[in-house]
Amino acid sequence: MNFPDKDGVSERERLEQIQEQMGGEILEELIPPPFPEPLTGYWESFLELHSARGSGESGPDPLSFSEIKAWVELTGKALSTRELTCIRTLDRLYLKEYSAFRSEQLR
């Protein structure tokens, strides 16, 4: 919703323009679903790792096991197998969305 299309305008910006034209009435499409409380720790860990992610010509690099291990050692945070799986799943989803966004930009 936040990625600009080929015209440089995101879906969010379009909806906010409509909202403004309607006198500020909040559009249901702009209200995100509540974030699942049990996933907050996974999300925060992913965001920490994501903020230090490398990138190349083709875009962001996947989070590697060595990067995750270094993060664990530096932060002192222990990750269970379940937490590691969740963070890697979030990473794959991010990369998939980024790839779709780039493909759309290149059209």
Q: Do 23 and 38 lie in a common domain?
A: no
Q: Quick one: pLDDT at residue 106? A: 73
Q: Do 57 and 98 lie in a common domain?
A: yes
Q: Give the model's confidence band at 2: pLDDT under 50 very low, under 70 low, under 90 confident, else very high.
A: low
Residues 6+ apart with CB under 8 A from 77: 45, 71
In terms of Cα–Cα distance, which of 26, 24, 30 is closest to 2? 30
Q: What is the per-residue pLDDT across 54-103, written as a single tens digit (0 to 9) for each? A: 998 888 999 999 999 999 999 999 999 999 999 999 999 999 988 988 88
> Could you tell me the pTM of the whole model?
0.71
Q: Quick one: pLDDT at residue 104? A: 76
Q: Do 1 and 47 lie in a common domain?
A: no
Q: Do 61 and 12 lie in a common domain?
A: no
Above pLDDT 90, what percent of the chain?
Answer: 48
Question: Taking 80 as the threshold, does the pLDDT of residue 105 lie above it?
Answer: no
Q: Do 59 and 79 lie in a common domain?
A: yes
Range of the domain at 76: 34-105
What's the total number of domains in the chain?
2
Q: Do 51 and 93 lie in a common domain?
A: yes
Say which residue, 101 or 30, is predicted with more confidence. 101
Q: Do 62 and 101 lie in a common domain?
A: yes
Q: Can you count the helices (H) and strands (E) in the chain? A: 4, 2
Q: Do 49 and 84 lie in a common domain?
A: yes
Q: Give the model's confidence band at 12: pLDDT under 50 very low, under 70 low, under 90 confident, else very high.
A: confident
Q: Do 39 and 67 lie in a common domain?
A: yes
Q: Do 43 and 89 lie in a common domain?
A: yes
CA distance 42 to 47: 9
